[in-house]
Structure formats: structure tokens, C-alpha cells
Amino acid sequence: MTHLLSPVTEGKLQPHNRLVLPPMATSKAEPDGGMSDALLAYYDEKSRGGAIGLVITEHCYITRQGMNRVGQPSIADDGTIDGWRRLVGIVRDNGSKVAMQINHAGGACSTAATELEVVSASDIAVPLGRDEACRSLTHAEIDTVVDQFAAAARRVQEAGFDGVEIHAAHGYLLNQFFSPLTNERTDEYGGDVAGRLKMHLEVVEAVRRAVGEEFPILLRLGACDYMEGGISLDDSTIAAVELERAGVDMLDITGGLRGYLRPGHDEPGYFAELTERIKGVVSIPVILTGGVTEPRQAEQLLADGKADLIGVGRAILKDPDWARNAVRELRP
């Protein structure tokens, strides 16, 4: 039986256990997105002792036009690499593997933060509560964003990370392309699942060319919008198969177009209905995050075959010793 402390032996990344620190925005970077002492201290505190198998950083913007907020870390130019090398060194020395999540926030960007035009899959406001006007990306601009993802992934690799995670969830740009609620395009990037997934596949393929065959690529997929007319689990099972075929090495499954939530649910592993189904159609490892507050809850989700790795966010955010205590509790 798989346990939380069991090593991951499948795939390219293979952390020493199945506990994941998921991406959580801290807004601790410098105003220009550069590395800060506060950001280094945060990841040092969370990873100290090596109790977490895999640390995934908060989403880092690949271009200023894709920045979500002031204080969000940047991977938008080569000048950021040295700062990230420092963070990688800290987390590695603490005993954990570390991947960076890269992102373009699209229609979830704020002109107040970027001082640039807000762009998205379509020229409709993303339902995130602020209803900021946005413009549909042109084909040439889509190509540029794909190249920006690839360039960012190359920087991640140069900084020494163990992998790169493409953010395609929580109402950000790739989620905006995949969701029928935010994608009203009539070209090849709209319509059915294949059209709405087209940009994802182009990003994965460009990232793979940039980092080579051996560097692990993760993708955080918003597998259900939990809104009428939005992404369905049927859509995402199709997408998962195609993403694996395109070169994704690990799927980090989540839901909610308006953010990280499943309405009416807060039980341990509340996205398990998504991960269990997707795990059944792919051969790559699947991460489940949401609602886990006790180590035994994570153990049970793994035992029940709901996922291959378990992310614990808020509990570790609240208690920096949570992971170290979990290891002591579960160690035979």
C-alpha cells in the first residue's frame, strides 16, 4: 500500500516522499518581482528538515503583461536567474526537491499592477469579481506568449530547479482558454475541447523543446470550473490524455474558475472526484491538494487510490512544523 512517506518511483521527478507543498501566493517578492530576503525565508521555513518531498513555488510571471499582482515573483528575464539559484540552494540543502510554477495571468491581471493592456482568450471579463475589461489575443500574440512560457522554463532549468510547472488553472490565461465561460473564440483556439486545449499543447511542446527530454514538466490543470457551462470533468479527462501525450510528466489537479475551491465542500481531498478519474486515464503521477489537515487523511487518500501525491497548503502555512510532525507521526 502506498504511504505518504513512500518514495515516488514512477516518472522523472521522483521526490523522496509524496507530500507536496503546493503553490501559494505570498506577494513577498520585491516590487519589481525580484528575489527578496522575505521570499527566501518563507521557503526556508517551509522546507527545513526535508519533510516535504516536493516544493512547488507560487506562480511566477513570464512577462510583465502577465503579472497578477505587485509582489508576485518574476521569471520574465535572465536577470532573475541568480536570485532563484539562491532559493533552489536553500530548498535543496533542506532536503526537498523544488519546482517553479510559471504563469501568465491573462484576464486576471490588473492594469494598476502592470500598467499594460489586459488580454485574455476573448474580449469578455473574467468572472473574478473585479470585471476588468480585456482584449482577445491575436494569433501573433498567442505565439509570443507560447515563446515566453518556453523562455521562462529555460530560465527555471538554468536556475537549477528540479522541474517546471505550467499554471493552467484558477482563472488565469490557460484556464481562460480552456473554459467555455471565458473562451468565445470562433477560430482554432475555441469551440470544442481540442480547440480550447490547443494553446496548452503548444506551450507544453515549446517548453519541452526549451528544456530537453529529461527535465520534468508538471502542469496544474483546472479540471472543473464548478460553474454552469464551464469546464467539465469529461473535458478534463480528454485533456489529461492529450497533455500526457504532449510531454507532461506530472499533473497537478485542481478546480474552480474563481479560485481554489469546490463550492459546498471542504472535506479532506475535496478535489478527489477529479484526481481519481484523471488518474484512471493517465500513467503519469497525479497530485491532489485541498482540505487535508491531518497526516492520516493524506494516508487514506493515497490508500484509496485518489492520487499519487498529496498537497498540503493551508495547514503548513499555518504551522511550519506540520510536515516535520507528520513524518514523526507516520514513521514506522
In this prediction, residues 286-302 reach a mean pLDDT of 97
Judge whether 5 lies within some domain. no
Structure confidence at residue 272 as a pLDDT band (50, 70, 90): very high
pTM score of the predicted model: 0.97
User: Is residue 3 included in any domain, yes or no?
Assistant: no
The two beta strands, 286-289 and 250-254, are parallel
Confidence band for 111, pLDDT divided at 50, 70 and 90: confident
Judged by DSSP in three states, 321 sits in coil
pLDDT digits (tens, 9 = 90+) for 113-161: 899 999 999 998 776 655 678 999 999 999 999 999 999 999 999 999 9
Amino acid 263: pLDDT: 76
For residue 68, the model assigns a pLDDT of 93
CATH code for position 134: 3.20.20.70
Q: Binning pLDDT at 50, 70 and 90, where does residue 1 land? A: low
How buried is 229 (Cβ within 10 angstroms: 0-12 exposed, 13-18 middle, 19+ buried)? exposed
Q: What is the pLDDT of residues 307-320, one digit of tens each?
A: 999 999 999 999 99
pLDDT at 240 over 90: yes
In this prediction, residue 129 carries a pLDDT of 54
> In what helix (H) or strand (E) does residue 286 lie, and over which residues does it extend?
strand 286-289
Distance CA 287, CA 265 (A): 18
Q: Is residue 2 part of a domain?
A: no
Find the mean pLDDT for residues 210-239: 96
Q: Is the pLDDT of residue 323 over 60?
A: yes
296 within a domain of the structure (yes/no): yes
Kindly report, residue by residue over 178-209, the tens digit of the pLDDT: 999 999 999 999 999 999 999 999 999 999 99
Q: Which of residues 266 and 101 earns the better pLDDT score? A: 101
For residue 212, give every residue at least 6 positions away whose Cβ sits within 8 Å of its Cβ, in sequence order, or none: none
- What's the pLDDT at 120? 95
pLDDT for the residue 58: 97
Within a domain: 9? no
Range of the domain at 321: 19-330
Integer Cα distance of 17 and 274 in angstroms:
22
Residue range 228-257: average pLDDT? Answer: 96
Helix/strand/coil for 303: helix
User: With pLDDT > 90 as the criterion, what percentage of the chain qualifies?
Assistant: 91
Q: Catalogue the active-site residues.
A: 172
**Burial of 248 by CB count in 10 Å (0-12 exposed, 13-18 middle, 19+ buried)?**
buried
User: What residues does 135 pair with on adjacent strands?
Assistant: 119
DSSP 74: B
Confidence (pLDDT) at 130: 59
- 299's grid cell: 494516508
- Which strand (E) or helix (H) includes residue 165? strand 163-168
Report how many domains make up the chain. 1
Does 32 fall in a domain?
A: yes
pLDDT for 14-27, tens place per residue? 999 999 999 999 99
Residue 11 lies in a domain: no
Amino acid at 255: G
Mean pLDDT, the chain, rounded, equals 95
Task: Give a yes or no: residue 1 inside a domain.
Answer: no
Res 13: pLDDT: 96
Tally: H helices and E strands in the chain: 11, 10
**42-52 pLDDT, tens digit each:** 999 999 999 99
